[in-house]
Amino acid sequence: MQLFYAPQITLPEYTLTEEESKHAVKVLRLTVGDTLHITDGQGNLHLCQVVSDSAKHCTVRVLESQHEFEKRPYNLTMAVAPTKNIDRYEWFLEKATEIGVDNFVALESEHSERRIIKPERELKVITAAVKQSLKAYHPTLEDMTDFKKFVTREFDARKFIAHCGEAVVGKKYLASTLAAGENAVILIGPEGDFSPEEVRLAVENGFEEITLGTQRFRTETAAVMAVAMVAIKNTME
């Protein structure tokens, strides 16, 4: 399956962007009559047939559509402090998208070593992962967001904060406490972890303290581990 991402797709015919047209015609060598798939990132997967193989304006006709393609039974928001080395944060975005995340939030906390990201660049990483892993849902990305503002928001989900310090109330193992089908918001801190004050603030606002195991993980590894735990929990039950 060749998957293209077109959030503004129109039915029954749609003309790919110049960049996507070039990829379809010049790289994939698609010609009139060949088929490809397009997603709008909202769960709709369209089987399309090429009707014009122009390298600048490749036009396709939608043959059939699937709605809520491989829709997951839960919603997952990952609020993660971007790493000093942006490549490591982008690795997390890529792998987490492949596994399954609905919303990414770049979290700015007290110990953050990176306080600026380039959303357009990070969205390209996410989009590439969507297409590579054949996803019909495109995660959202929220730019740098202050920790204190984020933890005081209302969420229709269970809220978790992973940290390595002393527990305020008590830590639970994520894979054991989360139930299949539950929406979740998970906070992962920067290289220097969350400060004790941030952990207390999160707990005061309804976040549950969690552990991801006995090993000590880098930020991006911990974040991917959390995403994988949620996915496995929903696969097994």
State the CB neighbour count (10 A cutoff) for residue 181: 11
Q: How many CA atoms lie within 13 A of 179 on its CB side?
A: 4
The architecture in CATH of the region 3-66 reads: Beta Barrel (2.40)
Whole-number Cα distances in Å, 94 to 6, 88, 117, 125, 172: 19, 10, 15, 6, 27
**Residue 11 CB contacts under 8 Å (≥ 6 apart), including other chains:** 46, 62, 65
pLDDT at 116 over 60: yes
End-to-end Cα, the chain, rounded Å: 29
Picking from 228, 220, 216, 224, the residue whose alpha carbon sits closest to that of residue 87 is 220
Ordered by start, the domain boundaries in the chain are 3-66, 76-236
Give pLDDT tens digits for 28-81: 999 999 999 999 999 999 999 999 999 999 999 999 999 999 999 999 999 999
Q: Write down the pLDDT at residue 237.
A: 55
Q: Write down the pLDDT at residue 1.
A: 85
Q: Write down the pLDDT at residue 80.
A: 98
- Rounded mean pLDDT of the chain? 96
Q: Write down the pLDDT at residue 236.
A: 72
Picking from 56, 68, 59, 51, the residue whose alpha carbon sits closest to that of residue 9 is 59
Are 220 and 88 in contact by the 8 Å Cβ rule? The answer is: yes
0.85 exceeded by pTM:
yes
For the segment(s) 76-236, the CATH number from 3.40.50.300, 3.50.50.60, 3.40.1280.10, 3.40.50.970 is 3.40.1280.10
